Amino acid sequence: MTLLVEEVTKSYPDPAGGPPTRILDVPRYQLAKAEQAVLLGASGGGKTTLLNVIAGLTTPDSGRVEIGGVNLTALPEASRDRFRAQRIGYVFQTFHLLSAFTALENVLLGMSFTGRTADRHAAAALLERVGLSHRSGNRPSQLSVGERQRVAVARALASEPMLMLADEPTANVDVAHRDAVLDLIRETCSERGVALLLVTHDREAAARFDRVEELGTINRVVSGAVGVGRKAEGGAPAAV
Ligand SMILES: Nc1ncnc2c1ncn2[C@@H]1O[C@H](COP(=O)(O)OP(=O)(O)OP(=O)(O)O)[C@@H](O)[C@H]1O
């Protein structure tokens, strides 16, 4: 099994000082090796929180996340960061590409975080795979949104992960690009035997996958707006 989420709960403190708001209460969720699945949920329902808990970026209040048999939740922070860099690819909703670096350098950075030697040929091959060889020297500001998204996919694959997490990867592109980027993510993951968990509010995007579940069927907490799909742009400084 590639992913096991067991008895995970997560609440956020109330900035106004009230009781914390429970966002997640997931008894069990699992993904087999190379399996591809979608979780569908309304805006604010906790999709990003769940992916961040799975990636070890957010610590759950209770429960555990196992990836490839390793209990990620029990690892000290530095080991968790290393594990994430080596085993998990994450396509963020707002990409998080580094704006001062070219497309090729962003992919190379994805490699170097794993502790392996950054390999320009392998990075160039990944950019070629996502159809961006001709843009490898462009910085993110010199790329279209769809192109940035494809760089983000190439970077996520650069670490040769066992699990790929994709957060609303189609939120910022038109329908034609939506289908293209979904196909790209699905195909590149299946070529490499990488398990894929994609979260979205977009039912048409979800319909391209065989395994689709509503977040509400695995999460005992029901929250989020119905029919609203985009979160405000955010992300790390100097990242686009
Ligand atoms: N750090 C935080 N502190 C407090 N509340 C938070 C924090 N992060 C998220 N939330 C709240 O938790 C809820 C779930 O947020 P989350 O980003 O996981 O939802 P989502 O399903 O990914 O939404 P969207 O589809 O709009 O991206 C939201 O109501 C949000 O306001």
Residue 224 banded pLDDT, cuts 50, 70, 90 = low
How far is it, in rounded angstroms, from Cα 86 to Cα 77? 14
Average pLDDT, integer, range 40-65: 96
Q: Is 169 in the pocket of ligand 1 (CB under 6 A)?
A: no
How far is it, in rounded angstroms, from Cα 100 to Cα 113? 17
How far is it, in rounded angstroms, from Cα 148 to Cα 143? 6
* pLDDT at res. 229: 35
Q: Is residue 44 part of a domain?
A: yes
Above 90 in pLDDT, residue 177? no
Q: Atom 10 (ligand 1): residue with closest C-alpha?
A: 12
CA atoms within 13 A on the CB side of 199: 24
Of 105, 172, 173, nearest in space to 139 by CA: 105
Q: Is residue 235 part of a domain?
A: no
What's the structural domain count of the chain? 1
Average pLDDT, integer, range 140-151: 93
Coil vs helix vs strand at 177 = helix
Q: Is residue 165 part of a domain?
A: yes
Q: Give me the CATH number covering residue 204.
A: 3.40.50.300
Query: 143 Cβ partners below 8 Å, 6+ apart?
Result: 103, 135, 151
Q: How far is residue 78 from each of residues 1, 2, 5, 17, 155, measured CA to CA in Å? A: 24, 21, 21, 31, 21
* pLDDT at res. 49: 97
Residue 172 banded pLDDT, cuts 50, 70, 90 = confident
Q: Which of 21, 23, 50 to mutate to test the pocket of ligand 1 (most atoms within 8 A of CB)?
A: 23
Q: Is residue 238 part of a domain?
A: no
63, 26 contact by CB (below 8 A): yes
CA atoms within 13 A on the CB side of 46: 26
pLDDT averaged over every residue in the chain: 89
Q: Is residue 234 part of a domain?
A: no
4, 35 contact by CB (below 8 A): no
Give 75-128 pLDDT, tens digit per residue.
999 999 999 999 999 999 888 999 999 999 999 998 887 777 778 999 999 999
Least confident of 9-18, 48-57, 157-166, 217-226: 217-226
Give the gyration radius of the chain's Cα atoms.
17
Helix, strand and coil content of the chain, in percent to the nearest 5, comes to 35, 25, 40
Q: Is 47 in the pocket of ligand 1 (CB under 6 A)?
A: yes
| Cα 113 to middle of ligand 1, angstroms | 27
Above 70 in pLDDT, residue 147? yes
Q: Is residue 82 part of a domain?
A: yes
* pLDDT at res. 237: 33
Q: Is residue 10 part of a domain?
A: yes
Q: Is residue 85 part of a domain?
A: yes
Nearest atom of ligand 1 to the alpha carbon of 41: 21
Q: What angle do CA 10, 16, 21 make, to 5 degrees?
A: 20
| Cα 46 to middle of ligand 1, angstroms | 6
Q: Which residue has the tokens 């997560």?
A: 10
* pLDDT at res. 225: 53
* pLDDT at res. 161: 95
Of 63, 84, 55, 70, nearest in space to 218 by CA: 63
Name the residue range of residue 81's domain: 3-223
β-strand 62-67 against 3-12: which pairing, if any?
A: antiparallel
